[in-house]
């Protein structure tokens, strides 16, 4: 008999090879421990710390990730454009018409369905289409039975993320923020039944500046001169995530909790 709640494990941005290796090490046990029905991870920094490739996406799938969301670096590597047809990749739904891939993916979870939607904010980022209006259109004319809807909102400003969460309250099961790579402590169930957190965090080196090597990052702020960023390779490594439970009958979020791990 199916449990009354769907369990979705959502991982913060994977940062380069260290992030992918970390997820390979820890995800199988996490999935068993929390009986996760679906694993979603943001992979837009999985290739060299910026962008995603077919190879890095395949690595994430092999590690046990079911759906890969992205963001503003999705097109940095050209080969990923050919991966949307055969890999569980999602790009922001508010990119202009004609962009490769699509902004959502519906997955069968036993006798239930979960639709993962990716949207990108506009404050301090590229001027894409309005994400609020994009979700309005998507929810008003859904492409089939969506089941429970989980949204990865890839955005810079915490205020825009918070506003987006309130805007969708009661209309989707969960809104989780990505992009800033710093886990936030505001996981909550909103009054309308939407699970929310401002940022999932990241999967990468803790001895870093949001996943990148400390020395080059500090030099850039001290000197105001361009420096070449590199992915931080030194441990310990952190895996930042949340577990969202969704009522199968109503499609509403019923709980959300942080699932963060530190690995030497």
Catalytic residues: 73
3-state secondary structure of 218: helix
- Crossing angle for the helix pair 131-140 and 158-167, to the nearest 10 degrees: 20
Integer Cα distance of 264 and 115 in angstroms = 34
3-state secondary structure of 237: strand
3-state secondary structure of 253: strand
Integer Cα distance of 23 and 257 in angstroms = 19
CB 178 within 8 A of CB 152: yes
């Amino acid at each position: 008999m199916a449990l009354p709640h769907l369990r979705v494990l959502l991982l913060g941005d994977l940062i380069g090879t260290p992030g992918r290796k970390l997820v390979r090490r820890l995800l199988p046990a996490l999935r068993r421990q929390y009986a996760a029905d679906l694993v979603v991870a943001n992979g837009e920094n999985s290739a060299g710390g910026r962008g995603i490739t077919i190879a890095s996406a395949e690595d994430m799938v092999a590690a046990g990730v079911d759906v890969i969301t992205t963001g503003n670096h999705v097109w940095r590597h050209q080969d990923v454009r050919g991966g949307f047809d055969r890999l569980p990749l999602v790009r922001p739904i508010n990119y202009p018409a004609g962009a490769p891939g699509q902004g959502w993916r519906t997955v069968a979870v036993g006798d239930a369905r979960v639709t993962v939607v990716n949207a990108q904010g506009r404050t301090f980022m590229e001027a894409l289409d309005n994400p609020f209006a994009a979700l309005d259109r998507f929810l008003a004319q859904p492409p089939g039975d969506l089941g429970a809807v989980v949204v990865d909102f890839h955005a810079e400003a915490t205020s825009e993320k918070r506003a987006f969460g309130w805007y969708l309250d009661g209309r989707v099961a969960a809104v989780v923020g990505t992009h800033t790579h710093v886990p936030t402590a505001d996981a909550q169930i909103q009054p309308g039944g939407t699970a929310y957190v401002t940022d999932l965090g990241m999967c990468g080196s803790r001895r870093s500046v949001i996943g990148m090597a400390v020395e080059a990052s500090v030099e850039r702020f001290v000197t105001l001169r361009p420096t070449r960023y590199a992915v931080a390779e030194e441990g310990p490594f952190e895996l930042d995530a949340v577990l969202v439970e969704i009522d199968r009958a109503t499609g509403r979020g019923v709980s959300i909790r942080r699932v963060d791990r530190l690995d030497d």
